[in-house]
Amino acid sequence: MQRRSFLQAAGTATAMLGAPGVFAQTWTGGPVRLVVGFPAGGGADALGRVVAEKLTTLWKQQVIVENKSGASSTLAAEFVAQQPADGSTLLLSTINSHALAPAVQPRLRYHPERDFTPVALLGVTPNLLITAATQPAKTLAEVVALCRARPGQVAFGSAGPGTIQHFAIEMFRLQAGVDALHVPYKGSAPLLTDLIGGQIQFTFETMTAATPHVRNGRVVALAQTRAQRSKAYPGVPTMQQQGYAEFETMNWYGLSGPARMAPALARRINDDVNAVLAMADVQQKFDTFGVEDGGGSAERYAQFTRNEIAKWARVAKDAKVSIDS
């Protein structure tokens, strides 16, 4: 979304917030929980805390980030789906909980459309193919050559089975024609710790989680995975620019509530999220993380999610992605 649209949304939200205590009249009182399905310190957690801090100020009502990590954020999604639809509990919905898990887990105990109210898209970001600064392979071509020289031995980490990092590894295996070892973790934080420590060699990490480590020089970015370069990384070529014409993955973040949330409440939260996304310091942080194209209506996020569900179901089938691999 263009920044002009953000500013228009911000103006609307500001007008709605003109009367003090407006949310106290709508909600039951007490803090609002923003449930994040990954551990503290990861990319999803970082974005969730930025949004929670700003909403706390706007609403004059505390918004607490609650980390419920595990099972590629499906535990958090299942938890939120069972909460009251009064706005007191929100989910930092992601591609993992709302598109990838449904594609690879037929026995999932929730459905991303049936059991949630879409509120707002926070943004999308590429993955970065990264390696520790101490690793010798520093180009995509060298990574491919290493995998071919040591089939099944070069370790690629993911934040868990069925995550976007896992899907990116499978896509890389198919398009590069290599055999790489998938090593799943419980979130980005432990994955990055082992990458920096040399226990694994590579990962297609989310740009959000990888950026602080790229900035401090501990890891090196070799490629990014959207079709066009992110403005946060203009010097890092895409996978497509390096010879993999069909390679495109991205991570995304949104806000969702339990099903049957009142439409007026969902719209009001959506307006306030757009106001947050329009703030200069939030834009700066999101730009640093490579998070772009967020905002817009709840209906926009609903359609976006619907498209992602269909897309990744096709990819899972074509690539034979399994959470057990």
Helix, strand and coil percent figures for the chain, each rounded to 5: 45, 20, 35
Structure tokens at 123: 């943004």
Q: Which amino acid would we find at residue 232? A: A
Buried b (16+ CB within 10 A) or exposed e, 170-209: bbbbbbbebebbbbbbebbbebbebbbeeebbbbbbbbbb
**Residue 110 and residue 165: Cα distance in Å, rounded?**
22
Grouping H, G, I as helix, E, B as strand and the rest as coil, residue 171 is helix
Closest CA to 233 of 126, 146, 305: 126
Name the β-bridge partners of 252: 124
How high is the pLDDT of residue 325? 41
CATH placement of domain 3-125+251-319? 3.40.190.150
User: Treating both helix axes as pointing N-terminal to C-terminal, what angle do 207-215 and 280-289 enclose, rounded to 10 degrees?
Assistant: 90
Whole-model pTM: value is 0.78
| pLDDT tens-digit map of 85-141 | 999 999 999 998 999 999 998 889 999 999 999 999 999 999 999 999 999 999 999
Tens of pLDDT, residue by residue over 276-296, are 999 999 999 998 878 999 999
Name the pLDDT band for 220 (thresholds 50, 70, 90): very high
Give dist(CA 224, CA 247) in Å, integer. Answer: 10
User: Could you check whether 3-125+251-319 and 126-242 share the same CATH topology?
Assistant: yes
Helix spans in the chain (H): 3-16, 22-26, 43-59, 74-81, 95, 101-104, 140-149, 164-176, 188-197, 207-215, 263-277, 280-289, 298-319
**Which amino acid, residue 274?**
N
Contacts of 318 (CB under 8 A, 6+ apart): none
Q: In the chain, where are the structural domains located?
A: 3-125+251-319, 126-242
In this structure, which CATH number among 3.20.20.140, 3.10.20.600, 3.20.20.70, 3.40.190.10 belongs to the domain 126-242? 3.40.190.10
* Beta carbons of 34 and 51 less than 8 angstroms apart: yes
Query: What average pLDDT does the segment 60-79 reach?
Result: 93
What is the residue-wise DSSP string for 249-311?
A: -EEEEEEEEETT--HHHHHHHHHHHHHHHTSHHHHHHHHHHT-BS----HHHHHHHHHHHHHH
